[in-house]
Structure 1
Amino acid sequence: NFSFTLLFCFTAVGVLLALHTVSSNRLVCHMTNWAQYRPSIAKFTPDNIDPFLCTHVIYTMATINSFNQISPVEWNDEQQYNRLNSLKNVNPALKTLLSVGGTVNGMSPFIAMVTKSESRAAFIKSAISFLHTHNFDGLNLAWEYPGHNGGSQEDKERFTLLVMELSKAFEADAKENRKTKLLLSANVAALRPTIDKAYEVSKISLYLDFINVMSYDYHGDWEAATGHNSPLYRSSVDSGSHIHHNINSSVSHWLAQGAPAEKLLLGFPTYGRTYRLRSIATGLGALANGPADAGPYTRTAGFWAYYEICDFISSATVSWISEQEVPYATFGSSWVGYDDKKSYSSKVQWMTANNLGGAHVWSMDMDDFDGSFCSAGAYPLINHLRMSMGFPPKPTTTPSPTTTRDAVVDFCRGRPDGLYENSADKTTYFQCFLGNTYLHRCQPGLIYWDSCKCCNWP
């Protein structure tokens, strides 16, 4: 009974700490309903989600039918909704949203729906009912993008109307039913020409609770030379419009157009973009011709999930692009630009310095979610992101071999929240949170490097 009481108290304290952190930081994680079709140990469903990992989970995705009503896509979506939302029984602080978007016959379903106030009203009514029925806390809009891909220039203003009408309807619903107001977010473009054509930034920012800047896919196999998927800054080989294909430029533009920093969430990819090299040159800007071979689990040419990259870099040459704060790796004619713990740390520092509202991750199912590939435990990237952002240690129901309370209780007194090296033992490191000291242990064979706030080889 004594042990159970301690466990219950620790869990309760963990939930309270999580609530404390959510007020100033969001860690929003996307999951995709097509990851369930990946083979073997790469298959991902809501059962693979750690309910204490992220503050919000976005289920991707639903669509809009010909009656302008929100509608599931997969045969088992409704069952999966229930599995996801049951996680809130474990972590009451967790919030879930349903993402709507995609394409129908190659066109965004938003295009037809937003044309008339009556069709927007039908969609909004169905969305509120659908979210309540399936116990979601909000709606995420994933229209890529207003005014593009078959849309018209009027879509820019129509998207603003949709966002405004959704927000007001959510407010009315909360008052009428005495419920917490449903959340409203959107996935938005990162490239300047697309932003300018698609969004009335200052207007939509008034009504969205948070804005997921898709700060990835800046470069890929559609180009004739290698470029990084998600660089923090421009590189010396960038020219023309490519000087803006980076996080610093994208977020600066959103801010300049009137988006509040506290509503912008920086995108962290758990995948990399691949190329097939055309010559012996292997650096940034090397000539390329299409993608490397598709990964054995994601099975889509042009990108690899992080767990596939872990396999690749075990025999590849890994390099660091210092001017962009991101890594790439090559083996034979295959080239991949990706993110690791070190690049995540750099982006968190930049995100914090610019006072952004937090991070969003695309996607949970492409991290090494059960620890089968990277020898770094479950969710190595997202767990590192979570700690780097200053979230508290997660409550646990079983003793953890890698996370224990240290006897050196005074180390963190007076120190800011964050990760610190333990000079007495390089295989461990300290996490400070609210003046409390926690000791974490690296995986066997690794030591802590303060330069990347991560465990790596000696």
Structure 2
Amino acid sequence: MVRLLTALGVLLVLHMASSYKLVCHMTNWAQYRPHASKFTPDNIDPFLCTHVIYALVTINNFNQIHPLEWNDEQQIGRLNSLKVINPELKTLLTVGGRANVLSPFIPMVAKPENRAAFIKSAISYLRNHNFDGLNLAWEYPGHNGSPREDKERFTLLVAELSKAFDDEAKENRKTRLLLSANVAALRPTIFAAYEVDKISPHLDFINVMTYDFHGSWDGVTGHNSPLYRSTVDSGSRIHHNIDSSVTQWLTLGAPAEKLLLGFPTYGRTYLLRSTANGLGAPASGPGNAGLYTQTAGFLAFYEICTFIPGATVTRIPEQKVPYATSRSEWVGYDDQLSYSSKVQWMTEHKLGGAHVWTLDMDDFGGSFCSTGAYPLVNHLRMSMGFPPKPTTTPGPTTTKDPVSSFCQGRPDGLYVNPADATTFFQCYLGNTYLQRCQAGLIYYDSCKCCNWP
């Protein structure tokens, strides 16, 4: 009976994991960070996330998709080449940014013909560059110079994109392109920016940006991404937390299975004004810029790893998150334990999964935190119940032995390696990829998976 219950429990976890999305953002500006913090698509583990979103391109004056970096198309090619290693990986392209301080969405959504030109350009760009979908990042309709009418115009854009994606897939007999959006977490912004019940049916998933709830702009210390409100919150700040934000999206009509909870891989920092150093302590401004991210009031997780050894770490029990202080600096951040608490909340509320901002601010190379590559995202994946990842080789085998020709003439798929049960072959387009099971596991062809002996 115990074995049966254990087996059922494992099956339940695997079923939950199979229905979850783990969507990970990467940024094209991370390539300019110095030394070990420089990040490109070559640093991505193709089996870590279910979806990877490339940020960011923009919209030009002709309502066309337009790259922002000189090597965007080169980086995009390298990102999408990861799908040769993991054919199950989905990639999306984020469009957003600013043009002359304003969002390029503002003039684009203003007229039907502008939206039509953008949609045509988007489909062409996505197909030509082997993307699986489009992610909209407008911060925000009806804000920052955007007129109130843009709330309804955003709904029109989303509906028109969705229909165009449907029509294009049917016409060309292709898999339909995905459509997602990064959306606000603060209640006043949600109300002013979105017709939630009208946009939700047209989006495949919705990335709720449940971070930046607090920062140096508050004048007092507060956590970047708390799960619940704290006793020091008052006024509108009682809603500056994940529980309140996601509950509002649900109340306004968003289906739980389409909402993805945001997991930040960075923290917000403060300079303390006095000897008080708890939650809600007076702050004189942003904390010092990190050596690698070089932005005041902000530290990537790999920078926080080097901050913590000389700091005092305190957990906020009511908010399920930690902060660290050292002399006059205060940083609120996420760690593996806070990620676990958020996954539990996510599961209880039957959300569709998680999205990570960003891959390039986790310790992606494993050189800062001494806990291996991607300590946060790997822990998130495990907490969500995903099975162990295969260990990949950089590309097809090239040695002149039977392994290199194993997949020639075979259908794409996974195959037993008769010489080593801890590895297996992945065939794709005639190429042979040698994959390794996680330590202690062996490959079983019956389930096409690695499992305990």
TM-score by length of 1: 0.84
C-alpha distance in 2 between matches for 1:209 and 1:438: 35
1:320 alignment partner, SS class: strand
Change (3 A) 1:20 1:132: farther
| Equivalent of residue 45 in structure 1, options 22, 28, 40 | 40
The answer to whether residue 244 in structure 2 is matched with residue 254 in structure 1 is no
C-alpha distance in 1 between matches for 2:85 and 2:14: 14
Q: Which amino acid aligns with 2:51?
A: H
TM-fit CA distance, 1:395:
1.2
C-alpha distance in 2 between matches for 1:233 and 1:111: 34
The answer to whether residue 240 in structure 2 is matched with residue 240 in structure 1 is no
The answer to whether residue 112 in structure 2 is matched with residue 117 in structure 1 is yes
Q: Which amino acid aligns with 2:254?
A: A
Change (3 A) 1:167 1:45: same
TM-fit CA distance, 1:403:
3.7
C-alpha distance in 2 between matches for 1:204 and 1:438: 44
Q: Which amino acid aligns with 2:339?
A: Y
Q: Which amino acid aligns with 1:404?
A: A
C-alpha distance in 2 between matches for 1:132 and 1:22: 29
> Structure 1: which 5+ residue stretches go unaligned?
1-17, 408-432, 440-458
The answer to whether residue 439 in structure 2 is matched with residue 404 in structure 1 is yes
C-alpha distance in 1 between matches for 2:391 and 2:74: 26
The answer to whether residue 103 in structure 2 is matched with residue 103 in structure 1 is no
TM-fit CA distance, 1:405:
2.5
C-alpha distance in 1 between matches for 2:14 and 2:323: 36
Change (3 A) 1:436 1:69: closer
Task: Note if contact 2:142-2:192 (Cα within 8 Å) is conserved in structure 1.
Answer: yes
Q: Which amino acid aligns with 2:205?
A: F
C-alpha distance in 1 between matches for 2:307 and 2:52: 29
C-alpha distance in 1 between matches for 2:130 and 2:450: 35
| Equivalent of residue 79 in structure 1, options 70, 74, 80 | 74
Equivalences for 1:187-206 in 2 at 5 Å? 187-206=182-201
Deviations 1:275-330 (CA, angstroms, capped at 9, x unpaired): 00001111100000111110000001111000000000011000000000000000
| Equivalent of residue 212 in structure 2, options 213, 217, 220 | 217
TM-score by length of 2: 0.85
| Equivalent of residue 386 in structure 2, options 385, 391, 402 | 391
The answer to whether residue 312 in structure 2 is matched with residue 317 in structure 1 is yes
Change (3 A) 1:239 1:118: same
Q: Report what 1:421 is aligned to.
A: none
Q: Report what 2:271 is aligned to.
A: 276
| Equivalent of residue 357 in structure 2, options 355, 358, 362 | 362
Deviations 1:399-436 (CA, angstroms, capped at 9, x unpaired): 799942369xxxxxxxxxxxxxxxxxxxxxxxxx9998
Q: Which amino acid aligns with 2:62?
A: F
Task: Note if contact 2:389-2:438 (Cα within 8 Å) is conserved in structure 1.
Answer: no
Q: Which amino acid aligns with 1:342?
A: L
Q: Report what 1:146 is aligned to.
A: 141
C-alpha distance in 2 between matches for 1:188 and 1:228: 20
| Equivalent of residue 21 in structure 2, options 18, 26, 35 | 26
> Structure 2: which 5+ residue stretches go unaligned?
1-12, 394-421, 424-435
| Equivalent of residue 370 in structure 2, options 365, 368, 375 | 375
Change (3 A) 1:402 1:436: closer
Deviations 1:79-111 (CA, angstroms, capped at 9, x unpaired): 001000000000000000000001011000000
Q: Which amino acid aligns with 1:405?
A: G
Q: Which amino acid aligns with 1:201?
A: V
C-alpha distance in 2 between matches for 1:402 and 1:269: 29
| Equivalent of residue 129 in structure 1, options 119, 124, 127 | 124
C-alpha distance in 2 between matches for 1:372 and 1:226: 29
Q: Which amino acid aligns with 2:155?
A: T
Q: Report what 1:176 is aligned to.
A: 171
Q: Report what 2:414 is aligned to.
A: none
Q: Which amino acid aligns with 1:96?
A: T
**Percent same amino acid at aligned positions?**
74
TM-fit CA distance, 1:396:
1.8
Task: Note if contact 2:46-2:86 (Cα within 8 Å) is conserved in structure 1.
Answer: yes
Task: Note if contact 1:292-1:301 (Cα within 8 Å) is conserved in structure 2.
Answer: yes
Q: Report what 2:162 is aligned to.
A: 167
Deviations 1:159-193 (CA, angstroms, capped at 9, x unpaired): 00000000000000000111000000000000000
Aligned pairs, number: 398
Task: Note if contact 1:218-1:245 (Cα within 8 Å) is conserved in structure 2.
Answer: yes
C-alpha distance in 1 between matches for 2:332 and 2:350: 27
Task: Note if contact 2:14-2:385 (Cα within 8 Å) is conserved in structure 1.
Answer: no
